[in-house]
Chain A
Amino acid sequence: MLRFVVRRLLVAAVTLAVISLVTFGLFFAVPSSPAKVMCGKNCTAADIAQVERRLGIDQPLPRQYAEFVKGVFVGRTYGEGDFRQDCPAPCLGYSFRNNQPVTSIIVQRAPVTFSIVLGGAVLWLTLGVSLGMLSALRRGTALDRAAIGVTLAGASMQVYFFGLILLYLLVYATGLLPFPNYTPLTENPARWAVGLLLPWMTLGFLNSALYARLARAQMLETLSEDFVRTARAKGLSARQVHTRHALRAAVTPIVTIAGLDIGTSLGGTFITETIFGLQGLGKATVEAVQFLNLPVVMATVLLAAVLIVIANIVVDVLYAVIDPRVRLS
């Protein structure tokens, strides 16, 4: 197990290095210059050159990348003279647009996205898996058909459509819920939950559709397996058969997909954040791209990649934990 994790981590490091290189290269091929965007309107060529020097983008590309990597480990200083800015390690860059080190932007934004995704995930997993199980166990009944119908509708809807309809119905038209906003969990758990209810509901419904279908299919498959028949035959109660044996076997692929889904979403849920006016990582990334705020782009892209890579490893490990037949090597 340990060897497996170490090897995966090494490969992950290479992956991240490649991603950072590609992102770096990508933004240097962008036609408009970040310095120009930052410098604004009444800017002379000399001004632009100065901004470039301040951002450190007047250097050749490999040098800049080396500076970036160095900054991550030992920190660095931007600019010169009275206008220098320190960026302590781990320095992922300094955002001159926001006048703060990128790490503090991440620290500020990540909790928002994490709250949205984790809360939503709890909802969509419980809702999806229980609905799927139920419909598998009551196969062919009206309940099953209704569940299939709802999940199909859910799977065919998009966040931007469903979220906006919910927003109108529950917030603008009736005022049943306040407009979503983010209060840190540590500050006031109740307000944290109320403020995020709408995104949770949206993600919960749309994604549970997928999980319900997945869970139903898996359950049906496992219910027809020999070991379930054996368990039934040795006289276990239906409940024990379903939860201890069938669900456990059915849950493996669900864990795989859920893990990857959550990992991907943690890196930023741009549309959800935009629709509900929440300042998370997704919005930070897209805004940074639009303003060519390269340090922020680099940091958020890397963070998203790290989360996905970690999710991959976690899923594999979980896999081994749930299914004793799987060996990690």
Chain B
Amino acid sequence: MSDLSHPPSLTAPGDPAAPDPAVGVAGAPAAGRREIIGRSPNQLAWLRLKRDRTARASALTLAVAALVALGAPLLGRLSGIDPTDKFVDRLNDFGMPIGYAGGISADHWLGLEPGSGRDILLQLVYGLRTSLFIAFASALLASFIGVAVGVLAGWARGWLDSAVNWLIDLTLAFPFLIFALAVIPILQDRFYTEREAPPPAFRVALIIATFGLFSWTYTARLVRGQVISLREREFVEAARAAGAGTGHLLFRQLLPNIWAPILVTVSLNVPQFIAIEAALAFVNIGVTEPTPDLGRMIYNSIGYVASDPWYTLFPGLTIFLLVLAFNLLGDALRDSLDPRSTR
């Protein structure tokens, strides 16, 4: 949705959400038809994905981003600059970087941040690290909760199912932003005394937890629908008849058949989290200084679009490309996993 009054209400095209999620996106028995060689649906999907040029390009972009993020300390070592280093002497009386294009120079390839005089390249690279980590961890957490709750509801049925449905409605109706605004300072004070600075990891963990807590509903509904439709299938019946326990049925029979839509959800959730993490800076509950963070950097830089456009450009472009690549990859992934896909 357009605003952050609520976490990603994942509305992936072609995946009609509630009340009754589409069934049979990756039906197990629907094996290869046109192929002469017998291939599993997963192999087919992988083949389709590999053939997709957009998917390859976006995957490459993301790989590069991940590599850069991981290699951030190396870059820091090579350039001899710490992301928090301030080159205030290279700012003018208004705090604007001296020189061309936002202070771009041999020492500072992407120039300096106005006001603080920090190196933009290093802030960006280290910030990417934080943002990607938060987005991935949140997506995984959300999916984990979603799968657990969804399987529980779909498998148990009865009152437990109703309770889970109600819980989903409750979560959807509860304003995420207000929760985050209120809870983050409370928890911080609970765990750290007034003279301790909470380590950056703590705030990051809080953000991830908040995202996870409010974004599992879509996955839960999806998984619940899948489980309900699969649990009566012959192969499950067969396993049950053979005396398999619940654990075996869930983990060996059901989950392998629903991982595909879950994967799509995760891949589409990540860009949403990147964007929302940036929006948290709006209400001052994002990642705190001095930990570099892409979201906060974007938020801080937007105001400079007229006075120092280069400062706005670099983080803005980075997040745009990142989100775009994730969206493209997510789309491609879904298409490739969809047996009806003819793309």
> Are B173 and A256 touching (Cβ within 8 A)?
no
> Are B5 and A304 touching (Cβ within 8 A)?
yes
Q: Per-residue 0/1 for A123-153: is the Cβ within 8 Å of any B Cβ (1 yes, 0 no)?
A: 0000000000000000000000000000011
Q: How far is the CA of A316 from the CA of B19 in the complex (A)?
A: 8
> Are A152 and B18 touching (Cβ within 8 A)?
no
Interface residue? A194 (CB, 8 A): no
Interface residue? B265 (CB, 8 A): no
> Are A285 and B178 touching (Cβ within 8 A)?
yes
> Are A218 and B14 touching (Cβ within 8 A)?
yes
Distance (Å) between the CB of A311 and the closest chain B CB? 9
Distance (Å) between the CB of B95 and the closest chain A CB? 21
> Are A253 and B170 touching (Cβ within 8 A)?
no
Interface residue? B185 (CB, 8 A): yes
Which of B123-131, B136-144, B320-328 forms contacts with chain A? B320-328
- Nearest residue (CB) in A for B170 is A15
Using A15-B169, A27-B182 as known contacts, say yes or no to A158 and B327 having CB atoms under 8 A apart.
Answer: no
> Are B9 and A261 touching (Cβ within 8 A)?
yes
- Nearest residue (CB) in B for A254 is B16
Contact residue among B19, B169, B178, B189 (Cβ-Cβ distance under 8 Å from A23):
B178
Which of A72-80, A182-190, A269-277 forms contacts with chain B? A269-277
> Are B278 and A160 touching (Cβ within 8 A)?
yes
- Nearest residue (CB) in B for A297 is B178
Q: How far is the CA of A202 from the CA of B3 in the complex (A)?
A: 11
Interface residue? A301 (CB, 8 A): yes
- Nearest residue (CB) in B for A304 is B175
Using A15-B173, A26-B179, A301-B178 as known contacts, say yes or no to A282 and B3 having CB atoms under 8 A apart.
Answer: yes
Distance (Å) between the CB of A249 and the closest chain B CB? 11
> Are A153 and B183 touching (Cβ within 8 A)?
no
Chain B interface extent, by class: 35 or more
**A155, A168, A261, A285: most-surrounded residue (chain B CB, <10 A):** A155
Interface residue? A69 (CB, 8 A): no
- Nearest residue (CB) in B for A158 is B275
- Nearest residue (CB) in B for A16 is B173
Interface residue? A11 (CB, 8 A): yes
Contact residue among B1, B16, B175, B185 (Cβ-Cβ distance under 8 Å from A301):
B175
Interface residue? B283 (CB, 8 A): yes
Which of B101-109, B205-213, B297-305 forms contacts with chain A? B297-305
Within 8 A of A (CB), among B170-203: 170, 172-175, 177-179, 181-183, 185-186, 189
Using A214-B11, A217-B14, A264-B6 as known contacts, say yes or no to A160 and B324 having CB atoms under 8 A apart.
Answer: no
Interface residue? A50 (CB, 8 A): no
> Are B279 and A19 touching (Cβ within 8 A)?
no
Residues of A within 8 A of B173 (CB): 15-16, 19, 304-305, 308-309
Using A282-B3, A286-B283 as known contacts, say yes or no to A165 and B328 having CB atoms under 8 A apart.
Answer: no
Contact residue among B4, B169, B298 (Cβ-Cβ distance under 8 Å from A271):
B4
Question: Per DSSP, are chain B's interface residues mostly helix, strand or loop, or mixed?
Answer: helix
Q: How far is the CA of A186 from the CA of B327 in the complex (A)?
A: 42
Interface residue? A94 (CB, 8 A): no
> Are A269 and B178 touching (Cβ within 8 A)?
no
Interface residue? B166 (CB, 8 A): yes
Contact residue among A168, A256, A267, A268 (Cβ-Cβ distance under 8 Å from B305):
A168
Interface residue? B46 (CB, 8 A): no
Q: How far is the CA of A284 from the CA of B175 in the complex (A)?
A: 14
Interface residue? A164 (CB, 8 A): yes
Contact residue among A217, A265, A285 (Cβ-Cβ distance under 8 Å from B1):
A265
Interface residue? A213 (CB, 8 A): yes
Q: How far is the CA of A244 from the CA of B271 in the complex (A)?
A: 36
- Nearest residue (CB) in A for B162 is A11
> Are B1 and A207 touching (Cβ within 8 A)?
yes
Interface residue? B24 (CB, 8 A): no
> Are A257 and B11 touching (Cβ within 8 A)?
yes
> Are B328 and A152 touching (Cβ within 8 A)?
yes
Interface residue? A260 (CB, 8 A): yes
Q: How far is the CA of A316 from the CA of B181 in the complex (A)?
A: 32
Residues of B within 8 A of A168 (CB): 305-306
Q: Per-residue 0/1 for A13-26: is the Cβ within 8 Å of any B Cβ (1 yes, 0 no)?
A: 01110110011001
> Are A164 and B305 touching (Cβ within 8 A)?
yes
> Are B11 and A261 touching (Cβ within 8 A)?
yes
Residues of A within 8 A of B9 (CB): 257, 260-261, 264
Using A18-B170, A152-B324, A218-B14 as known contacts, say yes or no to A29 and B5 having CB atoms under 8 A apart.
Answer: no
Q: How far is the CA of A22 from the CA of B2 in the complex (A)?
A: 26
8 closest cross-chain pairs (CB), A and B: A253-B16, A217-B14, A213-B13, A156-B324, A217-B13, A156-B323, A305-B173, A308-B173
List 16 additional A-B contacts (Cβ < 8 Å) besides A270-B3, A285-B177.
A31-B189, A158-B319, A159-B2, A161-B298, A207-B2, A256-B19, A261-B2, A267-B5, A269-B5, A270-B5, A271-B4, A289-B181, A305-B174, A308-B173, A309-B169, A312-B169
Q: Which residues of A contact B (CB under 8 A)?
A: 11, 14-16, 18-19, 22-23, 26-27, 29-31, 120, 152-153, 155-161, 164-165, 168, 172, 202-203, 206-207, 210, 213-214, 216-218, 221, 224, 252-253, 256-257, 260-261, 264-265, 267-272, 274, 282, 285-286, 289-290, 297, 301, 304-305, 308-309, 312, 316, 319
